[in-house]
């Protein structure tokens, strides 16, 4: 009897060793783990596997997955912490290095006797220097203003001197010295003292005036500016300006000779010029009527110039004289040019443009007055 009980006890102990402990968890089949069949399949109704090795592998795999997740999370955290720590350490090193460099630089500048202006700030010496600069600037402004006033007064004086040299009658009469002794009253000769610089300035001013006369003659076609240039050529006191006057005269005459101001298609408005007469066309005009148009300075310049052209076929005896008179005295250089062209074509002789002395000599040689 006792032997049977001991034998059963040993068999039960073996069976308990093969069974799973009560605290062992029951796992469901994982999606990636194949189901066990045959001898390794769980016993129906108990949910226990008959293979102890399979139970240990399943428990190990479940605990291994969780440890991997924790390990990767810790790795990322350590990486971030290490980066932040590196940045903080680098920033601290940079600040320490910068402060060291600034201290060294300040020490060297202090040893040389110089302090940075930004670090030292404005001092009393700087303020004093600024005030001195402001005072100097004001003094410079005053000097410049005085220079401008002096230049203006000098220019006015030179212009007055130039006018006096041009027209001595404008010179103020000198005051006769008062003398206690009786005798012959005399007026001292007026002599203007002109320095070389002033003389050069006057010559330059006169040269500019000649250029202005030539420009006016070319732009307007009037005789008066050209006559002013001719006066410079004839004035013995302006010998130093003869070359300049000759150049400006030739420039003006050449421009008048080349330019054509009138419209080539222009015709005389006969009906308006000769109202109440039977004249209707230019061909009906007589030489006497054309002479009247040429002598009438109130008529437009194009009317007088057209009259010169129409006088080419005139058979009147005084036509050449009328043309020569227009060359000499017409206010418009365009009319004078057309009159000279008409005269040259009538007498079959050429003259230099506006060479009035040569034209007068020829006319006298022909018996004209």
List residues bridging with 332 in a β-sheet: 222
Task: Quote the pLDDT of residue 264.
Answer: 83
Q: Can you say whether the dihedral through the CA atoms of 35, 39, 44, 50 is positive or negative?
A: negative
* Contact in structure between 262 and 302 (CB atoms under 8 Å): yes
Checking if the pLDDT of 49 tops 60, the result is no
- Residue pair 279/255 in contact (Cβ under 8 Å)? The answer is no
For the chain, domain boundaries: 196-258, 270-365
Q: How high is the pLDDT of residue 226?
A: 92
pLDDT reported for residue 343: 92
Q: N- to C-terminal Cα distance for the chain?
A: 194
Q: What residues have CB less than 8 Å from 24, skipping those under 6 apart?
A: 55
CA atoms within 13 A on the CB side of 172: 5
Top pLDDT among 271 and 192 is at: 271
Asked whether the beta carbons of 226 and 213 are under 8 A apart, the reply is yes
Q: Is 368 or 47 the better-scoring residue by pLDDT?
A: 368
pLDDT of residue 192: 59
Query: For residue 250, what pLDDT is reported?
Result: 93
**Confidence band (pLDDT; 50, 70, 90) for 211?**
very high
Q: What are phi and psi of 259, to 5 degrees?
A: -65, 150
Q: Are 299 and 188 in contact (CB under 8 A)?
A: no
| Whole-structure pTM value | 0.48
Q: 3-state class of 9 per DSSP?
A: helix
Strand partners of residue 235:
none
Reply yes or no on whether the pLDDT at 175 is more than 70.
no
| pLDDT at residue 180, rounded to an integer | 52
In the structure, what pLDDT confidence band is assigned to residue 219 with cuts at 50, 70 and 90? very high
pLDDT in tens, 107-146: 877 666 544 444 445 566 667 778 878 888 888 788 877 7
Distance CA 200, CA 110 (A): 61
Task: Spell 113-147 as b/e; 16+ CB within 10 A means b.
Answer: eeeeeeeeeeeeeeeeeeeeeeeeeeeeeeeeeee
d(CA 27, CA 43): 14
Q: What is the per-residue burial (b if ≥16 Cβ within 10 Å, else e) of 270-296? A: beebbeeeebeeeeebebebbbbbbee
Given this model, what pLDDT does residue 214 score? 93
Weakest mean pLDDT among 32-41, 100-109, 125-134, 324-333: 32-41
- C-alpha dihedral sign at 331, 332, 335, 340: positive
């Amino acid at each position: 009897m006792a032997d049977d009980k001991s034998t059963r006890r040993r068999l039960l102990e073996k069976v308990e060793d093969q069974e799973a402990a009560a605290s062992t968890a029951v796992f469901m089949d994982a999606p990636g783990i194949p189901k066990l069949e045959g001898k390794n399949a769980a016993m129906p109704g108990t949910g226990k596997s008959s293979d102890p090795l399979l139970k240990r592998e399943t428990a190990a795999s479940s605990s291994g997955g969780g440890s991997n997740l924790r390990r990767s999370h810790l790795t990322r955290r350590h990486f971030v912490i290490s980066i932040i720590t590196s940045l903080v350490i680098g920033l601290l090193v940079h600040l320490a290095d910068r402060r060291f460099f600034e201290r060294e630089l300040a020490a060297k500048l202090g040893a040389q006797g110089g302090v940075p202006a930004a670090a030292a700030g404005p001092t009393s010496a700087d303020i004093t220097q600024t005030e001195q600069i402001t005072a100097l600037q004001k003094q410079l402004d005053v000097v410049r203003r005085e220079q401008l006033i002096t230049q203006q007064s000098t220019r006015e004086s030179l212009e007055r001197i130039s006018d006096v040299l041009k027209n001595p009658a404008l010179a103020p009469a000198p005051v006769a010295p008062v003398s206690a002794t009786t005798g012959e009253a005399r007026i001292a000769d007026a002599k203007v003292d002109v320095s070389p610089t002033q003389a050069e300035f006057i010559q330059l001013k006169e040269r500019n005036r000649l250029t202005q006369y030539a420009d006016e003659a070319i732009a307007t076609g009037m005789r008066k500016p050209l006559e002013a240039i001719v006066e410079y050529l004839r004035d013995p006191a302006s010998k130093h300006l003869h070359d300049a006057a000759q150049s400006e005269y030739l420039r003006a005459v050449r421009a008048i000779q080349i330019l054509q101001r009138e419209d080539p298609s222009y015709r005389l408005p006969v009906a308006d010029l000769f109202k109440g007469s039977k004249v209707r066309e230019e061909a009906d005009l007589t030489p006497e009527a054309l002479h009247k148009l040429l002598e009438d300075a109130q008529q437009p310049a194009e009317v007088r110039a057209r009259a010169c052209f129409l006088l080419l076929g005139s058979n009147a005896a005084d036509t050449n004289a009328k043309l020569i008179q227009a060359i000499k005295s017409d206010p418009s250089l365009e009319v004078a040019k057309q009159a000279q062209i008409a005269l040259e074509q009538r007498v079959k002789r050429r003259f230099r443009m506006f060479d009035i002395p040569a034209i007068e000599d020829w006319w006298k040689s022909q018996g004209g007055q």
